[in-house]
Structure 1
Amino acid sequence: MKAADVLVDAFGRIQEVVHEAVEGLGAEQLNARLDRGANSISWLVWHLTRIQDDHVADVAGREQVWVDEDWAGRFALPFPPEATGYGHSSKQVAAVRVDSPGLLLGYFDAVHERTVDFVGGLSAQALNRIVDESWDPPVSLGVRLVSVIADDLQHAGQAAFVRGSLERR
């Protein structure tokens, strides 16, 4: 198995968890927060998708799907287009409201498609390319992609937990 195949598989697992957490929910469930400081499914999936879109577009030298396909306009959130949710306050989390799973999954799947297109063509050697020298040690492409996968799986799992909690109420 090639390194690119492992990465494609990992991003595919994120897609499975995201779909399981979101499909079939209504606006009330998507936007529900378990308490005033908690993240909603809408925010969690939007945020994990924004991070993947931002980070993968950067290392691929491409425009973000958020801007390129006007998902920013479709979501119509009260944030600048470069916002990813990193560091959001409770009030900002509450501002991410989505009325249907189709919007969240449409954006996620568009980002997933671009991500898989990019990582599927990578060689093992390409993963050694330094993509961020602001860290010590500098961050390689492989490390950046694993970081995105870890972050996305954590947030997708949180969205699944929220869904399960809401369904047991």
Structure 2
Amino acid sequence: PECTVTEGKPVCEESWSEWVNVSHPASEDGDFETFSKIQEAGISLCPGVNGHIKDIQCQYRAASPTKTATKKGRKPSRWTDRDYRESDDVDVICSLQTGLTCLNYKQADGQCQDYSIRVLCGCEKEEEIGVHEVGITEQPRINLMHPDLFSADRTDLPQLQTGRRAVPGL
């Protein structure tokens, strides 16, 4: 039998995913932007056959007061995205293995920032795909010199056709 694999190389380009925010610390025990939670939400960070996570970025949205006050004297906030390491939160984990985790009880004010993550989707190392042949090279062999095959009382074996002539007693 032959086993044939057609050659094909899927196109894959490294690119950053969209920012993802599926967990909110105000309604949970912390902020959990983990890969399993993102998958549970039906989001595929690196879709495609060869996609895999090569890098990760974690950020939070911080309120920055504007320079001008409103008519009531309050300064409105403007939101800016900042690297997770710039927050005052402690023990925030941002890793390629799990995603981001922050626990509310570890924070001085009792609540984590609201984080989001994105990942760099890389391409697996391309492997050569080629044609492989599989065949049977050995034929079954019968030892015609075995003494049991030529004993006079062997009538239980049918005749074996080899070539053009029948061999009686086999």
TM-score (norm 1): 0.21
More helix, by proportion: 1
TM-score (norm 2): 0.21
Larger radius of gyration between Structure 1 and Structure 2 = 2
Q: Which has the higher contact order (CA 8 A, sep 6+)?
A: 1
More strand, by proportion: 2
